[in-house]
Copies of this chain bind each other. A is one copy, B any other.
């Protein structure tokens, strides 16, 4: 076991230029780098990688990746004091603590909306390796991926086993389920339907709303929303207000082509679990409507390395990683502290 190999290099000094004087936010920097990638479907391309590195640069490096709508800004830090998408798990006194870890993250390739061909979770793993090369990180202490991030983490462990010491894969597995793929294909149809109009945003709003239904559960909707009503001659369902807000918020910050590329990319997930010898902590959620529990069981049985499977029950289904703070924290604490055989 060699912890030194998973430490961020110190010859890239972190900058704290954006830190306000009174700020106690963790030191961090953002950067961009153009790299050459051999994309599996799009061919050779130069792709811009946008990253954020935060915390103790001399500490073990932990790469954090979320779903297709996640991005490099994981938690509030000196480079960006706004809230990140995983404040519950990353930050001072959280499981991924920037005083104990060097936290690395990036924007998915395709997320800027400039790619015109399918990308694959394997492409993302290759892009991550290019980023680690740029950052001179030889080996990650851990890759912690949720949803699409878990899929990419499995690809990373399969394709580049020397670059990652352990993997935490939450609510993402080795394949896309055919039913979930059909659901996503219809979301992309909604985008196409919207694209036939002048205003292409409505299609993306609907696509996101449909996706949200797959991320959440009937149990949650039962608690939150009441019965339909007739309003001004049409039937109004209470959940529509929530879905409208969420869909419009997403569409306002997401290029249509970013959604299409990343949605497609999930459906291209295909990695042989037998090719992975890295220690893996799998987290599955019984109520997940996108990733059936049976697929997590199959993955756990087929991985070659030390494997731990944690099954949660959650009314938040696929989105449990964003909501079940304590349960996820306990799993992360254990996984990140575990000894890994050399």
Contact = CB atoms under 8 A, between A and B. Distances in A.
Contact-size category for A:
35 or more
Contacts of A264: 228, 234-235
Contacts of A213: 179, 182-183, 186
Contact of A206 (B182, B189, B221, B230): B189
Interface stretch (A58-66, A143-151, A238-246): A238-246
A270 interface: yes
A206 B177 contact: no
Interface string A29-68: 0000000000001000000000000000000000000000
Query: Which of A176, A183, A185, A217: most chain B CB closer than 10 A?
Result: A185
Nearest to A263: B235
Contact of A230 (B41, B178, B220, B240): B41
A175 B243 CA distance: 21
Interface stretch (A133-141, A152-160, A193-201, A304-312): A193-201
Contacts of A72: none
Nearest to A187: B210
B179 A118 contact: no
A190 B178 contact: no
A250 to B, nearest CB: 14
Interface in A116-131: 117-118
Contact of A267 (B179, B190, B197, B237): B237
A203 interface: yes
B176 A225 contact: no
Contacts of A190: 190, 193, 206
A182 B235 contact: no
Contacts of A193: 190, 193-194, 197, 202-203, 206
B228 A176 contact: yes
Contacts of A176: 227-228
Contact of A178 (B175, B233, B239): B239
A89 interface: no
A216 to B, nearest CB: 8
B178 A238 contact: yes
Given A181-B225, A182-B221, A235-B268, 8 more contacts: A41-B230, A178-B221, A178-B225, A181-B228, A193-B193, A193-B202, A196-B202, A228-B268
